[in-house]
Structure 1
Amino acid sequence: MADDAAGVSTPYGGTYKRPLRTRTRSGCLPCRSRKRKCDGARPRCRNCEFRGDGCAWGVKVSFHPSRALTLSAEDEASLLDVEQQRRADNTEQADADEPHQFVDDTNDIVEFFEGDYVAPSSPISDVDDPVVNHEAESQTDTELHTVHFVESSTPDDQNLVQGSWKAAEEAPGLNARAQQQILPLITADTGAHQAPALHTETVVSYTAPFSLGQAIFSDAAPLPDLDLPVSKTEQAHLMTAYLRETGTWCETTDSEKHFTVKSIHSMMESRAFVAAALALSSRQVDTLRGRQRQTALELYQYTIRLLIYQDPSEADTSILATCTLLCVYEMMASSVSEWRRHLNGCAGLLKSRNWKGCSRGIIKSCFWAFARIDIWAAFIIGQTTLLSTTCWVENDSIPAVSAAAAASGDIDDYCNLAILIFAKIINLIAHNPPSPRISAAHRVTMTEDLWKDLSIWWKFRPRHACPLLREEPRGSGNPFPTVVFTTSAAICGNTFFHAGSILLLETGLVSSSSTEKELSDPIWHARELGGLSISNESHANWVNHLQPLFIAGRVLANTSRWGGRLLETQPADTYDDCFGDGEEYALEKLALLKQLARIEKETGWKTSDRSAELRRLWGFA
Structure 2
Amino acid sequence: MGLLKGKALNWAITAAAGAGFLLFGYDQGIMSGLLTGRAFTAQFPEIDTTEGANGSASLQGTVVAIYEIGCFFGSIGAMVFGERLGRRWCIIIGCLILSVGGALQAGAYGIPQLIVGRIVAGLGNGMNTSTIPVWHSELMKANKRGKGLAIELAINIFGVMSAYWVDYGLSFVENEAQFRFPLALQILFALCTAAAVLVLPESPRWLINHDRIDEARQILSDVRIGIHEGANTEAILDKELAEIKHAIDEEREAAAGNTFKALLKNGSQRFRTRTLLGIGGQFMQQLSGINLITYYAPVIFQQSVGLPRDISLLLAGFNGIAYFISSLVPIWIIDRLGRRKLMLFAAGGQAVCMAILAGTVSNGSKSAGIVAVVMLFLFNFFFAVVYSPFLGCFLLTAALASASNWIFTFLVVEITPVSIKNIQWRTHIYFAVFNAFFLPLIYFFYPETQDLSLEQIDRLFTGGKIQLHWKAAMGGDVEGPSESPSTNGEHGDESKPACGKCVNAKEECLWGQIITFRPENALCLNGSDGLQQVEPSDERVSTQSPLMDRARRSPDTRRSIPAGNRVSSERDNRPTDSPSAISYINGNGDNSTPRLPASTRSLSNQDATTMLRMSGWSRNYDNGQTSMPSPMSTNPETNAFAPTRLGLTPRSHESPEVTTNGTTENAASALMSFRTDAAQTQLQPPAVDFPNMGFDVDPNLANMLPYGYSPEALFDDGIFLPGSAYQELHKTFRSHVFNAACSKPTSRRGTPDPSADETNAGDSGAAESAMSTTDLRMEQSEGTSTPPELTPRQERKLWSNWITEISSWLDKFDIHKHFRHTLPSMAERDSHLRLSMSALSARQLEKKDGSMPAYLSLALYQEAIHVLLPKLHTKDLAVIASCVVLCVLEMFSCSPKAWRRHLDGCANLILSMNVRGDSGGLEEALFWCFARMDVCGGLISSEKTLVPVSRWTLNDSFVATVEMYKSADGFEKQAHYACYLLGRILDLFARFQIDLDTTNSLVRRPPDQHAAYTSEWDQLMTAILDWYTDRPPEMRAILTQPATFGPKSSPFPTLLFSNPAAIAANQQHHTAQLLMLSHKPADHKFRRKTRSILWHARQICGISMSNDHHGCWTNCIQPIWLAGRMMSHPEEHRAIVELYERIERETGWGTKWRVDDLKEVWGDLSV
Q: TM-score range by the shorter chain?
A: 0.5 to 0.7
Distance 1:355 1:154 in 2: 29
RMSD: 3.8
Change (3 A) 1:121 1:486: same
Correspondent of 1:220 among 776, 779, 788: 779
Task: Between 504-513 and 456-465, report the one with greater CA deviation.
Answer: 504-513
Change (3 A) 1:298 1:445: same
SS of the residue 1:483 aligns to: strand
Change (3 A) 1:262 1:218: closer
Change (3 A) 1:475 1:165: closer
Give the match for residue 1087 of structure 2: 514
Correspondent of 1:503 among 1065, 1075, 1080: 1075
1:34-73 alignment, distance < 5 Å: 36=567, 37=570, 39=574, 42=577, 44-45=579-580, 59=605
Give the match for residue 144 of structure 1: none
Structure 2 letter corresponding to 1:44:
P
Distance 1:349 1:547 in 2: 26
Structure 1 letter corresponding to 2:1056:
V
Distance 2:730 2:1161 in 1: 42
Distance 2:1146 2:1091 in 1: 34
> Is 1:539 aligned to 2:1110, yes or no?
yes
Give the match for residue 571 of structure 1: none
Correspondent of 1:302 among 863, 878, 883: 863
Normalised by the length of structure 1, the TM-score is 0.64
Give the match for residue 1051 of structure 2: 479
Distance 1:60 1:605 in 2: 27
Distance 1:322 1:525 in 2: 36
Correspondent of 2:1009 among 439, 453, 461: 439
Structure 2 letter corresponding to 1:296:
S
The CA deviation at 1:461 is 0.3
Q: Are the equivalent residues in 1 in contact too, given 2:944–2:986 (CA < 8 A)?
A: yes
Correspondent of 2:788 among 229, 236, 251: 229
Give the match for residue 468 of structure 1: 1038
> Is 1:120 aligned to 2:698, yes or no?
yes
Change (3 A) 1:302 1:438: farther
Change (3 A) 1:167 1:460: closer
Change (3 A) 1:280 1:604: same
SS of the residue 2:1146 aligns to: helix
Deviation string, structure 1 residues 489-513 (Cα, Å, up to 9, x no partner): 1111111100011011111328565
Task: Between 477-486 and 152-161, report the one with greater CA deviation.
Answer: 152-161
Change (3 A) 1:403 1:351: closer
The CA deviation at 1:449 is 1.2
Distance 2:870 2:700 in 1: 14
The CA deviation at 1:484 is 1.0
Q: Are the equivalent residues in 2 in contact too, given 1:43–1:55 (CA < 8 A)?
A: no
Q: Are the equivalent residues in 2 in contact too, given 1:467–1:486 (CA < 8 A)?
A: yes
The alignment covers a number of residue pairs equal to 446
Change (3 A) 1:451 1:311: closer
SS of the residue 1:430 aligns to: helix
Distance 1:525 1:167 in 2: 40
Distance 2:1115 2:1061 in 1: 12
Give the match for residue 614 of structure 1: 1158
Give the match for residue 1061 of structure 2: 489
Deviation string, structure 1 residues 78-103 (Cα, Å, up to 9, x no partner): xxxxxxxxxxxxxxxxxxxxxxxxxx
SS of the residue 1:287 aligns to: helix
Structure 2 letter corresponding to 1:220:
E
The CA deviation at 1:127 is 4.2
Change (3 A) 1:414 1:220: same
Deviation string, structure 1 residues 191-229 (Cα, Å, up to 9, x no partner): xxxxxxxxxxxxxxxxxxxx9997525473482285531
Correspondent of 2:725 among 150, 161, 179: 161
The CA deviation at 1:316 is 1.1
1:181-220 alignment, distance < 5 Å: 215-218=774-777, 220=779
Distance 2:779 2:1054 in 1: 59
Change (3 A) 1:490 1:336: same
Give the match for residue 591 of structure 1: 1135
Structure 2 letter corresponding to 1:256:
H
SS of the residue 1:310 aligns to: helix
Name structure 1 gaps, 5 residues minimum: 1-26, 49-53, 62-66, 69-116, 132-147, 170-177, 182-210, 557-583
The CA deviation at 1:157 is 2.5
> Is 1:353 aligned to 2:888, yes or no?
no
Give the match for residue 1094 of structure 2: 523
Larger Rg: 2
Distance 1:214 1:242 in 2: 37
SS of the residue 2:1055 aligns to: strand
Give the match for residue 386 of structure 1: 946
> Is 1:271 aligned to 2:831, yes or no?
yes
SS of the residue 2:1040 aligns to: strand
Change (3 A) 1:41 1:274: farther
Distance 1:339 1:236 in 2: 30
Structure 1 letter corresponding to 2:1012:
H
The CA deviation at 1:372 is 1.0
Change (3 A) 1:263 1:304: closer
Structure number with greater CO (CA < 8 Å, separation at least 6) is: 1
Structure 1 letter corresponding to 2:984:
K
Change (3 A) 1:168 1:469: closer
The CA deviation at 1:309 is 1.7
Deviation string, structure 1 residues 61-91 (Cα, Å, up to 9, x no partner): 9xxxxx99xxxxxxxxxxxxxxxxxxxxxxx
Q: Are the equivalent residues in 1 in contact too, given 2:600–2:859 (CA < 8 A)?
A: no
Q: Are the equivalent residues in 1 in contact too, given 2:824–2:834 (CA < 8 A)?
A: no
Change (3 A) 1:214 1:332: farther
Q: Are the equivalent residues in 1 in contact too, given 2:778–2:869 (CA < 8 A)?
A: no
Give the match for residue 456 of structure 1: 1026
Structure 1 letter corresponding to 2:798:
L
Q: Are the equivalent residues in 2 in contact too, given 1:467–1:485 (CA < 8 A)?
A: yes
Distance 1:43 1:154 in 2: 34
Distance 1:237 1:214 in 2: 40
Distance 1:607 1:219 in 2: 37
Structure 1 letter corresponding to 2:972:
D
> Is 1:429 aligned to 2:989, yes or no?
yes
Distance 2:730 2:980 in 1: 41
SS of the residue 1:220 aligns to: helix
The CA deviation at 1:45 is 1.5
The CA deviation at 1:122 is 7.1
The CA deviation at 1:455 is 0.7
Give the match for residue 188 of structure 1: none
Change (3 A) 1:614 1:401: same
Q: Which structure dedicates a bigger proportion of its chain to helix?
A: 2
Deviation string, structure 1 residues 397-435 (Cα, Å, up to 9, x no partner): 546534443xxxx21111111101101111222245469
Structure 2 letter corresponding to 1:601:
R
> Is 1:288 aligned to 2:863, yes or no?
no
Q: Are the equivalent residues in 2 in contact too, given 1:451–1:504 (CA < 8 A)?
A: yes
Q: Are the equivalent residues in 1 in contact too, given 2:891–2:902 (CA < 8 A)?
A: no
